[in-house]
Amino acid sequence: MTEKDQLIRKEFPILKNRNVIYLDNAATSQKPPCVIEASNRYYNMHNANPLRGLYELSVDATDAYENARKTVADFIGANRPEEIVFTRNASESLNLIAYSYARTFLKEGDEIICTIAEHHSNMLPWQQAAKATGAKLTYLYCEKDGTLTPEMLEEIISDNTKLVAVTQISNVFGRLNDIKGFAKVAHAHGALLVADGAQSVPHVPVDVQELDCDFLAFSGHKMFAPMGIGALYAKYDLLEKMPPFLYGGEMIEYVTTEGATYAEVPHKFEAGTVNVGGAVGLAEAIRFMQRFGWETIMKREDDLTSYAMEKMKKYPYVHIIGSEDPKEHHGIITFKLDGVHPHDIAAIFDEHGIAVRAGHHCAQPLMKYLGTLSTTRASLAFYNNKEDIDAFVETLVGIRKEMGYAE
């Protein structure tokens, strides 16, 4: 391990505590103590119900929450903090758009386009919204290596298209999609662009104004923050005209027995007591990432991806899904091993203390399109190192033997 490796490793005690080689970062990342302490500090020092208490502690809690919102807004380049709605995770953020925006503004004859490479969370909400509104859902098929381009969208989009949903980084291919280009095509046809940032926001700099996307959904737990906190970015004027998502406390102005007027953006989308501890943890996770910096994070992840793919390519029975070019993978290496089922692969990795994901990666339509039932995925974070990859590849090349094959 290099000095830098050790320095970063110290931030993730679970890796040592459990002696695990953790390669399932696309599912969730591990959490550094500073994040857990930030949440703890909030509960030990500032906790009260925010946004309504007329006493100092509640004002503290409100400040903690709203400061976290500002940190998140700045991190992704939002125009103003109010453009960030806190949710539980990317799935909830995407459902918020589908329930609040799509079900209100879409009607029969309209069209939603989503790509075949989407995670179920950026597909099922559109299937349901289409059913509820009578709009048509059309799939944009990627090439078999995961390539998706704005030109491909241009070919199928029409002026009936009202929403286009595209993942920024696919959780299967790891490829970075040209969200700016997709947004341009969508806007030229009067449609809005929904970007799923669950895999991108933790791994590459994202600037929503540069991308000009209308919505961006992401989770905290994949970027070193606690589980149960996520965010939806939306352009302010869209949030203004969207109706509330959930109804109840802390999202109202006036309530009578007949109805209510609703709180300002973004609070009208945050019914009930909110997750301040999580939001504070997310803000600290962002500062944690900023302390290391994108250059370090991206270089480490890129170098390790290249290192791993180069080693894996030496074995003819290992097949990597997606691009041949490691630069197009962003730490996500999904693969097949001839003759061995992914669940057996993952079980054998587990016997060697290595955590990888096996299955359909919540992308069953994509798996079907690729002609496979399931695959295995190793996904990196910047705390991984060469020793992790060496152990991973060494185990990988021994699996066929362990499963009874001659070589």
Contact 232, 87 (CB under 8 A): yes
Beta carbon nearer to another protein, 385 or 395 = 395
Should residue 18 be labelled a site residue for another protein when binding is judged by CB under 8 A?
Answer: no
CB of 403 to another protein, least distance (A): 5
Question: How far from the centroid of its chain's Cα atoms is residue 225's Cα?
Answer: 12
Does 142 participate in catalysis according to the annotation? no
Binding residue (CB under 8 A) for another protein from 14, 132, 188, 373: 373
CB of 398 to another protein, least distance (A): 9
Beta carbon nearer to another protein, 311 or 352 = 352
CB of 352 to another protein, least distance (A): 6
Backbone angles phi, psi at 260, to 5 degrees: -160, 160
Q: Which of 114, 142, 213, 362 is catalytic?
A: 362
Which of helix, strand or coil describes residue 15? Answer: helix
Choose among 161, 168, 216: nearest CA to 187.
161
**Alpha-carbon distance 262 to 240, whole Å?**
11
Contact 229, 86 (CB under 8 A): yes
Residues between 132 and 191 with contacts to another protein, criterion CB under 8 A: none
Give CA separation, 385 vs 1, 89, 171, 380, in Å.
7, 28, 21, 9
Beta carbon nearer to another protein, 253 or 402 = 402
Beta carbon nearer to another protein, 318 or 354 = 354
CB of 145 to another protein, least distance (A): 22
Strand stretches in 95-182, DSSP E? 111-115, 136-140, 161-167
Residue reference for tokens 């806190």: 86
Could you tell me which residues come within 8 angstroms of residue 41 by beta carbon, excluding any fewer than 6 positions away? 280
Strand stretches in 264-401, DSSP E? 318-320, 332-337, 354-355, 357-359, 375-379
Residue span 312-351 as binding mask against another protein, x where in contact by CB under 8 A, dash where not: ---------------------------xxxxxx--xx--x
Binding residue (CB under 8 A) for another protein from 34, 227, 263, 403: 403
Binding residue (CB under 8 A) for another protein from 228, 360, 369, 390: 360
Contacting residues toward another protein, per CB under 8 A: 339-344, 347-348, 351-352, 359-360, 373-374, 402-405
- Residues with catalytic annotation? 362
